């Protein structure tokens, strides 16, 4: 089979390679990959900003069909369509793993970082951390959208598990990328009033957010401030930074109310110059939300089954696996919400 392998430092250390097909061990599923999303963390791995065990097949956001099982696999069968929680090879024994917080395990092991990932014809995952996609996805195109489940589960952790949202709360979502668009839908599903903040260049994305349920948007700080305080004179109850750049966090700290809750989803990726007292001044609850837990996935699959959230608009680009470098460039240029690599044309 073919797989996109990171095997050495530098851009030259990434290539499509001919590999042995993985063999499932006890409790594992062998999955034929239909689509694998390119995540920023794959980009960081390629550029050595994040260390991975080399050599390794990249990719942790995927959907595919079970072609082989081994041992007890919780009722999964050949032919099932599945996606999976990436940190599925964490220790499983510690106090965090026992609560499903596998991402926080000291021995965290994820596909695409420590074990071979999904940018290949086949990937192997433990059945314990696999999830069937809803039967309502019939065509291959509909099924491929489920490669976007993992980022949604991360946003579900933020919006459903890390913050308490009261109906009618005013929520500011900063950044209308895929995570922001998910945030809009999730906070709306919890009954909040949602204002999305972006740049003038984000107009199309902000319009999309409106069509997905956002109540309002702003393309400048003044406009945001005016809209937040008109709606909620105390300031925003919740702010959610989906970007991970200082101006975005600063904006959030200027429109949040005293004792409000800020949830940080965007990763800053290094040291940042930020006046921490901005958090202190208003006694803001600063809550980081890192990846997803096992329980986030249950909520995510329920929301998808109930069609309370859509992922379809963000599966905008599909490329054959061979064109991974083109996909990478599109991700770097933010030219798509999500690029899906399609390893196999034999489905």
Binding site for Zn ion (CB under 5 A): 39, 90-91, 94, 97, 105
Long-range contact list for 21-26, CB < 8 A, 24+ apart? 21/121, 21/122, 22/116, 22/122, 22/123, 22/124, 23/124, 24/68, 24/69, 24/70, 24/124, 25/70, 25/71, 25/124, 26/70, 26/71, 26/72
CA distance 284 to 262: 7
| 52 vs 255 by CB, closer to Zn ion | 52
Kindly tell me which of 97 and 178 has the beta carbon lying closer to Zn ion.
97
Least distance CB 224 / Zn ion (angstroms):
28
Sign of dihedral through CA atoms 270, 275, 278, 284? positive
The total of other beta-carbon atoms located within 10 Å of residue 320's CB is 13
d(CA 316, CA 302): 24
Q: Are 84 and 102 in contact (CB under 8 A)?
A: no
Nearer to Zn ion, 97 or 331 (CB): 97
What are the strands of the beta sheet with 2-6, ordered from one edge? 14-18, 2-6, 56-57
Q: Tell the smallest beta-carbon distance from residue 128 to Zn ion (Å).
A: 13
Rounded alpha-carbon distances, angstroms, from residue 164 to 169, 260, 263: 10, 11, 11
Q: How far is the CB of 97 from Zn ion (least distance, A)?
A: 3
User: 150 vs 241, which CB is nearer to Zn ion?
Assistant: 150
Closest distance of CB 319 from Zn ion, Å: 17
Which residue lies nearer to Zn ion by CB, 100 or 313?
A: 100
- Tell me how far, at minimum, the Cβ of 294 lies from Zn ion, in Å: 12
Nearest CB to Zn ion, comparing residues 102 and 303: 102
The angle formed by the CA atoms of residues 117, 77 and 72, to the nearest 5 degrees, is: 80
N-to-C CA span, the chain: 15
CB-CB contact of 82 with 132 (8 Å): yes
Shortest Å distance, C-beta 17 to Zn ion: 22
Min CB(180)–Zn ion separation in Å: 15
Q: If we measure between CA atoms, which residue out of 155, 148, 205 comes closest to residue 179?
A: 155
Which residues pair with residue 35 across a beta bridge? 63
As measured in angstroms, the least distance from the Cβ of 261 to Zn ion is 24
Residue placing its CB nearer to Zn ion in the complex, 109 or 132: 109
* Minimum CB distance to Zn ion smaller for 117 or for 260: 117
């Amino acid at each position: 089979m073919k797989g996109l392998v990171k095997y050495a430092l530098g851009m030259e250390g990434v290539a499509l390679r001919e590999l042995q097909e993985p063999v499932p061990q006890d409790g594992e599923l062998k999955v034929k990959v239909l689509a694998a999303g390119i995540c920023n963390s794959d980009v960081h791995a390629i550029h050595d900003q994040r260390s991975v065990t080399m050599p390794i097949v990249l990719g942790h956001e995927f959907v595919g069909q079970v072609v082989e099982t081994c041992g007890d696999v919780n009722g999964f069968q050949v032919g099932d369509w599945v996606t999976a929680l990436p940190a599925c090879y964490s220790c499983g024994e510690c106090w965090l793993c026992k609560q499903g917080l596998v991402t926080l395990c000291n021995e965290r092991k994820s596909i695409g970082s420590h074990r071979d990932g999904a940018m290949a014809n086949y990937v192997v995952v433990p059945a314990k951390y696999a999830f069937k996609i809803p039967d309502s996805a019939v065509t291959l195109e509909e099924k491929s959208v489920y490669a976007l489940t993992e980022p949604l589960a991360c946003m579900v952790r933020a919006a459903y598990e890390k913050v308490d949202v009261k109906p009618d709360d005013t929520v500011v979502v900063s950044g209308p990328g895929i995570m922001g668009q998910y945030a809009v839908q999730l906070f709306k599903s919890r009954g909040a009033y949602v204002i999305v903040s972006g740049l003038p260049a984000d107009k199309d994305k902000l319009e999309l957010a409106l069509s997905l349920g956002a109540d309002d948007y702003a393309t400048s700080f003044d406009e945001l401030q005016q809209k937040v305080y008109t709606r909620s004179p105390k300031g925003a109850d919740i702010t959610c930074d989906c970007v991970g750049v200082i101006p975005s966090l600063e904006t959030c700290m200027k429109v949040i109310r005293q004792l409000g809750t800020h949830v940080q989803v965007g990763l800053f990726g290094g040291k940042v110059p930020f006046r921490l007292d901005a958090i202190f001044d208003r006694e803001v609850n600063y809550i980081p939300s890192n990846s997803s837990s096992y329980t986030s996935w249950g909520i995510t699959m329920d929301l998808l089954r109930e069609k309370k959230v859509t992922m379809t608009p963000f599966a905008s680009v599909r490329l054959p696996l061979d064109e991974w470098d083109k996909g990478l460039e599109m991700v770097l240029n933010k030219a798509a919400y999500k690029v899906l690599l399609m390893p196999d044309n034999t489905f």
